[in-house]
Amino acid sequence: MNLWLSSYFLVAGLFLSSSALTPEECQPLVKPLLLTEPSVIYGWWTTVAGYVDGEGFDALQKATESTWMNVTQSPSSPNVVVLSEKNKINGTCVDIALNLTIDGNTASGSVGDMVFSEFQFLPSCDSCFILSVNTTARNLDKLLQQLNINMDVTGEEVNIRAIYLIGRESTVKDSELEHFKQQASCLGFSREPDFIYDPKNGFCA
């Protein structure tokens, strides 16, 4: 190996080792926020970037062009919020709505008897949150059929883990995106995001 390549890999290795956060440095970045005041998550949000691990959902994420959501208080209880989501998937608009019950730092809800998800909100940039989602899905193939999404996925029960950077705006500063990547690395996602919103895709009305 020539001297130039040796120097390059040495510098790259030093950069990677210095940029990796210790568990102590990660702790405040991944500590879920207490949702004692659910109003902090009310309003309109767009998905800026995200990571997904899970059979079926990774393919679905790749087909997703944009997502926005609106979080409102449920009239049934102060500890319940309504999440209304509109996704643009392969050019098709797909609506999803679910009630989320808040308990401490976790909000949970289901889509019929096919999908159950737990959500946690992590600190991020101003007017941003990190949305950490753990989902158990069964009969995902049937759910996608109901949503008119033509995609070959398993019908077996699968566990999906995802994190999303959501914001009041559809874009963030480069430094804020890099901060999100650091948080993702702390949570085990040591790669480039699976999704980054492209403004040319637009949003469903």
The token duo for 193 is 């995001």
**What is the number of structural domains in the chain?**
1
Element containing residue 95 per DSSP (H, E): strand 92-103
For residues 77 and 81, give the distance between their C-alpha atoms in angstroms, rounded to a whole number.
Answer: 8
- The pLDDT score that the predictor gives to residue 13 is 40
The verdict on pTM exceeding 0.75 is yes
Q: What is the CATH number of the domain that holds 43?
A: 2.40.128.20
Nearby residues of 75 by Cβ (< 8 Å), 6 or more positions away? none
pLDDT number for residue 88: 94
3-class DSSP state for residue 53?
strand
Query: What pLDDT, on a 0 to 100 scale, did the predictor assign at position 114?
Result: 79
pLDDT in tens, 21-72: 898 999 988 999 998 889 999 999 999 999 998 766 677 778 899 999 999 9
Number of alpha helices (DSSP H) and beta strands (DSSP E) in the chain? 5, 9
- The rounded Cα 165 to chain-centroid distance in angstroms is 6
Q: What is the pLDDT of residue 8?
A: 38
Residue matched to tokens 């102060």: 78
Side-chain half-sphere of 45: how many Cα atoms within 13 Å? 25
pLDDT at residue 112 above 90?
A: no
Token output for 74: 């449920």
pLDDT, one tens digit per residue, over 79-106 is 999 999 999 988 889 898 999 999 999 9
- The tokens for 151 are 């995609």
Backbone Cα Rg of the chain: 19
Encoding tokens for residue 166? 């959501």
Q: Is residue 12 part of a domain?
A: no
Domain membership flag for residue 14: no
> What does the pLDDT read at residue 15?
37
pLDDT tens digits for range 132-168 = 999 888 777 776 776 666 666 656 778 889 999 999 9
Range of the domain at 161: 25-201
pLDDT for 115 = 83
- pLDDT computed for residue 108 by the predictor: 96
Asked if residue 18 is part of any domain, the answer here is no
The answer to whether the CB of 184 falls within 8 A of the CB of 163 is yes
Q: Evaluate whether residue 189 is within a structural domain.
A: yes
- 46, containing H or E segment: strand 43-53
- Contact status, residue 138 vs residue 125, Cβ threshold 8 Å: no
Beta bridge partners of 160: 135
* pLDDT at 4 > cutoff 70: no
